[in-house]
Amino acid sequence: MRLEQLSPAPGAKKRPKRVGRGPGSGHGKTSGKGHKGQKARSGGGKGGGFEGGQMPLYRRVPKRGFTPRERTVYTVVNVKDLHAFSAGSVVDPEGLVKAGLVKKAERDRVKILGDGELPHALTVRAHRVSASARQKIEAAGGRVEVLSA
C-alpha cells in the first residue's frame, strides 16, 4: 500500500450543507430557518444567560471578592524540609526538584519559610527567604543567597 492509495472509509466524509442555493437543493429560500421571527434574523436568538425574562442567575447572585492582577505566587518550602540535604550542601531550586520538595514547573519562584529547625549548615539559594528562615539558617552556620526572579 502506498500513500496515494489511502482514502477515508466510505461514509466517513459528509458533504457540507449548502443553504440558500435554490429550490432544487431543498435548503433554498429561507435556508432552513422557517418564516420570519427572531430566530430567522441575522444574529437572531436569545443570549446565553437569558431565562425567559426571569432575573438571570448572573444578576441574582451577589458580587463577591476580587482577584488581584499582578500577584506573584511562590512555591513554599519550610526550613524543616531541608533536613533531607547533607551538611554543607547547596540547596537551590534544581536541588529542591531532585529532592521532590518542589515540582519542576514551580522552580522559578521558590520561597523558604521558617517553620521547623535546621540541624546542620547549608547554603540556601532561593528567590525569597523569610526573616525567621534566614535567622535559623544562619544560626545553624549556613548562608542565604537570594536569587533574582
Q: Above 80 in pLDDT, residue 149?
A: no
121 CB-contact burial (10 Å; exposed 0-12 / middle 13-18 / buried 19+): middle
Report which DSSP code applies to 127: S
Distances 56 to 44, 62, 71 between C-alpha atoms, Å: 19, 12, 32
Residue range 68-92, pLDDT digits in tens: 788 888 999 999 999 889 999 999 9
- Taking residues 26-48, what's their average pLDDT? 93
Over the chain, what is the mean pLDDT?
93
Report which DSSP code applies to 34: -
Full-model pTM: 0.56
Long-range interactions of 132-137: CB distance < 8 A, separation 24+: 133/78, 133/79, 136/79, 137/79, 137/112
Q: Which domains does the chain have, with CATH numbers?
A: 75-146 (3.100.10.10)
Q: pLDDT value at position 68?
A: 79
